[in-house]
């Protein structure tokens, strides 16, 4: 019991520290990409600014729905299944990947409910479009994950990571990796990481009112982004496997931040994709066929290796 | 696709470039050459007298009517008695500089003129002469 509480404490601590670093880093990246300073010219480089920014939301009395609480709680519960490092997880199951994905899809559906609580119709319609798009982006992602499951013959994160001790899965599944990466990039774009006003984001639920509702939705958005990046890290990039002499825990952190910086910069770079229709085209004309081809090739290799023992 | 990569590398390069934002009281912008700031009356370096003869062409050319000139007849010639510019009204259009036939007025680079009192923005002849240091673009570095 004590170990469990200790683990929960560690996970919350790691998530909290990550939230702080990532929100600071994101602000800096977004502003420096525009040749601004970010967090203005605050004393000590604006290091305290993420805290004061969150306090600003708490101070405002805006009513929020029960779904916001659900989203927040579920975005934390998801970390019970996803291991942050090789022993930092709570539920040790053989089907962790399955549970994590189910929880993620539930989170997206909760966001629909949260939007429907709004009294403004334009927010609901726009938000539903975006959420439906996020769900449709899940299809190529799930196909890619299926390929990984077939490759590693397991739904357990630990087995998937341990099977990458020599070669990372990205070498075996370059197309799957590309599809997965583009899919999570577009999902993160729909979550409005850079808070950049574009066509997709103009009818945003976050515009409705600033308060604790916005704070929780921003927190849960960040946690979902962590989840997606961690998933990419674990499934394709070796997770906590050692690289040369570098410790696994340090390695997973380095990979996480490198991916985050690339995603944050790319999210700003794909401003050309500014309408839902373009996203739908990209999803159904590029990502979905690619992921299906990847899955088919993986299945063929699986059959050749395991049934006929050719390879 | 190429555009996305191009944008990515531009954004990535921007991370290492100096930000354009200026923290105003601590840092100041070096204004561009030819920027228009507070008007200034020129002196004749030989005689150290004001070049302006009070012909009132600038007064007529001023769209904001912020220039007021007074002349007096002395020793058989007109002399400049008063030359006032209300900088609270001035739009720094430079019409007075263009209208002046003796090239007695020029615009300095001084742009920081905020005051608590509007009366302090009314510049007289002597104030307008004492603007020589503002002819340098980095006038705050002395």
Please tell me what DSSP assigns to residue B2: H
Residues of A in contact with B2 (CB under 8 A): none
Nearest CA in chain A to B20: A35
pLDDT at B80: 82
CA distance A137 to chain B (A): 19
**CA nearest A119: which of A65, A53, A46, A176?**
A65
Which of A28-42, B1-15, B118-132 is predicted least confidently?
Answer: A28-42
Contacts of B138 (CB under 8 A, 6+ apart): B30
CB A211 within 8 A of CB A62: yes
A54 has pLDDT over 60: yes
Mean pLDDT score, A244-261: 87
pLDDT at A118: 62
Which of A32-41, A236-245, B45-54 is predicted least confidently?
Answer: A32-41
pLDDT at B47: 85
| B20–A35 CB contact, under 8 Å | yes
User: What tens digit of pLDDT does each residue of A132-184 get?
Assistant: 777 788 888 899 999 989 888 888 888 888 888 888 888 888 998 999 998 88
Task: Check: pTM over 0.95? Answer yes or no.
Answer: no
CA distance B16 to B18: 7
B45 has pLDDT over 80: yes
H or E segment and range at residue B3: helix B2-14
Percent of chain B residues past pLDDT 90, beyond the cut = 22
CB B62 within 8 A of CB B53: no
Contacts of B95 (CB under 8 A, 6+ apart): B58, B61, B62, B63
CA distance B133 to A37: 32
pLDDT at B65: 92
**CA nearest A184: which of A249, A260, A80, A126?**
A260
Distances (CA, A) of B70 to A118, B79, B85: 69, 9, 12
pLDDT at A198: 45
CA distance B30 to chain A (A): 18
| B23–A41 CB contact, under 8 Å | yes
Bigger pLDDT: A295 or A196?
A: A295
Bigger pLDDT: A276 or B46?
A: B46
Residues of A in contact with B15 (CB under 8 A): 29, 32-33, 265
Residues of B in contact with A37 (CB under 8 A): 19, 21, 23
Residues of B in contact with A31 (CB under 8 A): 19
| A35–B19 CB contact, under 8 Å | yes
Mean pLDDT score, B93-111: 90
Q: Tell the burial category of B141 from Cβ atoms under 10 Å away from its Cβ (0-12, 13-18, 19+).
A: exposed
CB A40 within 8 A of CB B22: no
Mean pLDDT score, B65-73: 88
Residue contacts between A and B (CB atoms, under 8 Å): 43
3-class secondary-structure state, position B96: helix
Mean pLDDT score, B29-36: 84
| B15–A41 CB contact, under 8 Å | no
Mean pLDDT of chain B: 85
User: What tens digit of pLDDT does each residue of A182-235 get?
Assistant: 888 888 887 766 665 444 444 444 445 556 777 777 788 888 888 889 989 888
Q: What ipTM goes with this model? A: 0.74
H or E segment and range at residue B105: strand B105-107
User: What tens digit of pLDDT does each residue of A18-43 get?
Assistant: 888 888 888 888 888 888 877 665 56
User: What tens digit of pLDDT does each residue of A282-292 get?
Assistant: 888 888 899 99
Mean pLDDT score, A69-89: 84
Angle of helix A121-152 relative to helix A212-236, nearest 10 degrees, comes to 20
On whether any CB of chain A is under 8 Å from the CB of B74, the answer is no
| C-alpha torsion sign, points B45, B48, B50, B53 | negative
Percent of chain B residues past pLDDT 70, beyond the cut = 97
pLDDT at A49: 74
**HEC readout, B42-62:** CEECCCCEECCCCCCHHHHHC
User: What tens digit of pLDDT does each residue of A90-110 get?
Assistant: 888 888 888 888 988 888 888
Residue A214: how many CB atoms within 10 A of its CB? 20
| B15–A31 CB contact, under 8 Å | no
- Which residue's structure tokens are 């019991």? A1
Q: How confident is the model at residue B67 (pLDDT cuts 50, 70, 90)?
A: very high
B95 has pLDDT over 90: yes
Mean pLDDT of chain A: 80
Nearest CA in chain A to B11: A33
Nearest CA in chain A to B19: A35
Q: In chain A, positions 39-68, which contact chain B (CB-CB < 8 Å)?
A: 40-41
| A269–B7 CB contact, under 8 Å | yes
């Amino acid at each position: 019991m004590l170990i469990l509480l200790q683990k929960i404490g560690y996970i919350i601590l790691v998530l909290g520290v990550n939230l702080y670093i990532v929100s600071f880093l994101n602000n800096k990246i977004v502003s420096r990409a525009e040749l601004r300073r970010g967090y203005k010219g605050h004393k000590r480089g604006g290091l305290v600014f993420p805290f004061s920014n969150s306090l600003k939301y708490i101070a405002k009395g805006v009513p929020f729905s029960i779904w916001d609480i659900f989203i927040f709680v579920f975005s934390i519960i998801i970390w019970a299944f996803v291991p942050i490092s090789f022993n930092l997880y709570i539920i040790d199951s053989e089907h962790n990947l399955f549970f994590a994905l189910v929880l993620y899809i539930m989170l997206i559906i909760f966001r629909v409910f949260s939007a429907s609580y709004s009294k403004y119709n334009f927010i609901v319609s726009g938000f539903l479009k975006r959420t439906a798009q996020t769900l449709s982006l899940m299809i190529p992602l799930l196909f890619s994950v299926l390929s990984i499951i077939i490759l590693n013959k397991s739904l357990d994160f630990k087995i998937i990571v341990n099977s990458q001790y020599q070669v990372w899965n990205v070498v075996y599944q370059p197309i799957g990796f590309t599809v997965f990466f583009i899919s999570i990039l577009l999902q993160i774009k729909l979550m409005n990481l850079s808070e950049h006003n574009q066509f997709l984001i103009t009818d945003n639920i976050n515009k409705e009112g600033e308060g604790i509702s916005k704070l929780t939705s921003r927190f849960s958005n960040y946690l979902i982004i962590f989840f997606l990046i961690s998933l990419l890290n674990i499934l394709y990039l070796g997770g906590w496997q050692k690289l040369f002499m570098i410790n696994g825990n340090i390695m997973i952190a380095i990979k996480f931040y490198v991916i985050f910086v690339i995603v944050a910069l790319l999210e700003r770079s794909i401003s050309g994709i500014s309408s839902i229709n373009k996203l739908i085209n990209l999803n159904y004309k590029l990502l979905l066929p690619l992921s299906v081809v990847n899955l088919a090739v993986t299945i063929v290799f699986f059959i050749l290796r395991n049934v006929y023992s050719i390879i | 696709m190429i555009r996305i990569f191009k944008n990515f590398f531009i954004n990535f390069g921007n991370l290492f470039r100096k930000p354009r934002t200026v923290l105003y009281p601590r840092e100041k912008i070096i204004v561009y050459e030819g920027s228009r700031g507070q008007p200034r009356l020129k002196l004749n370096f030989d005689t150290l007298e004001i070049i302006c003869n009070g012909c009132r062409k600038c007064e007529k050319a001023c769209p904001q009517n912020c220039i007021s000139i007074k002349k007096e007849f002395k020793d058989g010639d007109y002399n400049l008695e008063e030359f006032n510019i209300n900088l609270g009204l001035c739009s720094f259009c430079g019409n007075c500089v263009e209208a002046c036939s003796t090239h007695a007025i020029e615009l300095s680079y001084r742009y920081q003129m905020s005051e608590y009192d509007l009366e302090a923005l009314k510049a007289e002849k002597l104030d307008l002469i004492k603007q020589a240091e503002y002819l340098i673009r980095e006038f705050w570095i002395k």
